[in-house]
Amino acid sequence: MELVNNSQKLKQQHQQHFHVLVVDDSVIDRKLLERLLRDSSCKATFVDSGDKALKYLGLLGDNASSTSNSESLQQNGIKVNLIMTDYCMPGMSGYDLLKRIKGSSWKDVPVVIMSSENVPSRITMCLEGGAEEFLLKPLQQSDLKKLQPCFLKSFEQQSADRSVASHNDNDNERTALSPEHGFKLQFVSTIATTILRFWNSL
């Protein structure tokens, strides 16, 4: 039972640090998402265009400077765990934004595309372009449940990062990595992940 409580706590803590960037030109859809994301207790930032999203990610400008901009943003702790973007927007479309993100240092961040139009060719194009998921508007609570794998993926990534970081933090002179520390973290992570998957499947 204690392991379960710990994993719930871990999940909550993780989701409190989970940062979603929402890109949508519709004020109503932004408000709807704000309410839907409130239930996931994660932090959300809202912008109303692809250009503003790129600016936020430090990707605006010519290629050379934007790479270093976005990398330094990430090093300085600007963390984005998930990007949710509308497809149809004036100026840059959600698909264009997706391609820009996938061609940048933010390429590992899952991108979810939303659209009010159910066009199979559009959906295929977005998924093939690297989108994690394609959601139909208007969004509902059940759609947010579909995004649980994104939360989980980030959780696993964070656990992996933490175990690597703790190895790096340890004495640099030591050439052999201590297996015990790594095993413990891996063990807890696996158990926690399994429990989370179990709870999510209920």
31 or 162: whose CB is closer to another protein? 31
Tokens of 189: 């992570």
Smallest gap, in angstroms, from Cβ of residue 172 to another protein?
A: 48
Smallest gap, in angstroms, from Cβ of residue 12 to another protein?
A: 17
Tokens of 129: 């372009």
Taking alpha carbons only, the member of 183, 149, 137, 124 closest to residue 26 is 137
Smallest gap, in angstroms, from Cβ of residue 93 to another protein?
A: 12
Smallest gap, in angstroms, from Cβ of residue 140 to another protein?
A: 5
Smallest gap, in angstroms, from Cβ of residue 35 to another protein?
A: 5
80 or 89: whose CB is closer to another protein? 89
140 or 166: whose CB is closer to another protein? 140
Q: Which pairs from 193-199 meet CB under 8 Å and 24+ separation?
A: 193/152, 193/155, 193/156, 193/159, 195/3, 195/4, 195/7, 196/7, 196/11, 196/152, 196/155, 197/152, 199/8
14 or 137: whose CB is closer to another protein? 137
Helix/strand/coil for 119? coil
59 or 97: whose CB is closer to another protein? 97
Smallest gap, in angstroms, from Cβ of residue 34 to another protein?
A: 10
Contacts to another protein by CB under 8 A? 26-29, 31-32, 35-36, 38, 88, 90, 116, 137-138, 140-141
List helix spans (H) across the chain: 2-16, 27-38, 50-56, 63-75, 94-102, 120-128, 141-146, 148-169, 179-201
117 or 161: whose CB is closer to another protein? 117
Facing residues of 46 across strands? 22
Distance of CA 105 to the CA centre of its chain: 14
